[in-house]
A and B are shown apart, each in its own frame.
Chain A
């Protein structure tokens, strides 16, 4: 027992990087988040399947070609792509121990994400004003559910990122805040990937 305890203590004093067999708690938590992301893959997969199956059922109402204004959609795609890059730069700044740059890049990511959300809300209100609501047709029900679920994820990510920025400003870069930044950047890249598929399957294939 005493020996076990001893090795446990030294294990904590030596830096984590030298312990191969000792599972790092923060690494485990990151992996746990990864598993959550895989369940999110299944949610989005189901919504994509629904959309693909129902997209032709417009109930005599407007179809994708009548509704989608590609200018704004393309702009918001590039905005989200860029925010994926800036969240990566935030992780880089964190590993360099540069708190200011970390907060700066996270802030840039939040601004880009907020722009994306505002553009999406504008698009949705525009659609509703045109009479294309969630209850107009099966196509629009599937559309609003799929795109809206992605938008909700982005919105949640924004709230989360702002809270994390406040925590980092207060506590600095610690193993715990490090893991949180890693996790949220994974989330953000994931949302970017989901949007690429929304953009391709819903918008580009819808108008082509």
Chain B
């Protein structure tokens, strides 16, 4: 449609078939890896938990970049800023709850 406009606008928030397909392949791979780790029982305990969390976070990054086009945002990057704020609140809630409820228990 607007491909002859200035480059910064030509592909604003669009992506291409290629970028969507790359993202899809990545997300499939990042799902197969944790499934194999758990189902085959290669790694136990902490090592497996770390691999599971790392692949899940990478999956989030893949979706943000390839599907939600976070990287192609225009200059005042309000989307990125609100995302960072949301993630900070998320981490405070989750890690704070875990810390207080699981590692700080008094008497029990």
C-alpha spacing A208/B48, complex, angstroms: 8
Would you give the shortest CB distance from A142 to chain B, in whole angstroms?
Answer: 12
B68/A41 in contact, CB under 8 A: no
Q: Which of chain A's residues has its CB closest to B83's CB?
A: A38
Whether a CB of chain B sits under 8 angstroms from the CB of A114 is no
Q: Which of chain B's residues has its CB closest to A56's CB?
A: B102
B90/A35 in contact, CB under 8 A: no
Whether a CB of chain B sits under 8 angstroms from the CB of A78 is yes
A92/B97 in contact, CB under 8 A: no
Would you give the shortest CB distance from A99 to chain B, in whole angstroms?
Answer: 13
Would you give the shortest CB distance from A208 to chain B, in whole angstroms?
Answer: 4
Task: Count B-side interface residues using an 8 Å CB cutoff.
Answer: 51
For the residues of B in contact with A, the DSSP-based class is helix
A193/B60 in contact, CB under 8 A: yes
A189/B87 in contact, CB under 8 A: no
Task: Count A-side interface residues using an 8 Å CB cutoff.
Answer: 49
Can you pick out 18 interface pairs between chain A and chain B where the beta carbons lie within 8 Å of each other? A17-B2, A31-B78, A34-B79, A38-B82, A38-B85, A41-B86, A41-B87, A42-B89, A52-B94, A53-B97, A82-B24, A84-B63, A193-B59, A200-B55, A204-B38, A204-B52, A208-B48, A208-B52
Known: A50-B97, A95-B1, A200-B56. 16 other contacts (CB 8 A): A18-B5, A34-B82, A35-B82, A38-B85, A41-B89, A42-B89, A45-B89, A49-B96, A53-B101, A78-B31, A82-B24, A85-B24, A92-B17, A189-B68, A196-B59, A201-B56
A interface residues with partner B (beta carbon < 8 Å): 15, 17-18, 31, 34-35, 37-39, 41-42, 45-46, 48-50, 52-53, 70, 74, 77-78, 81-82, 84-85, 88-89, 91-92, 95-97, 182, 185-186, 189-190, 192-193, 196-197, 199-201, 204-205, 207-208
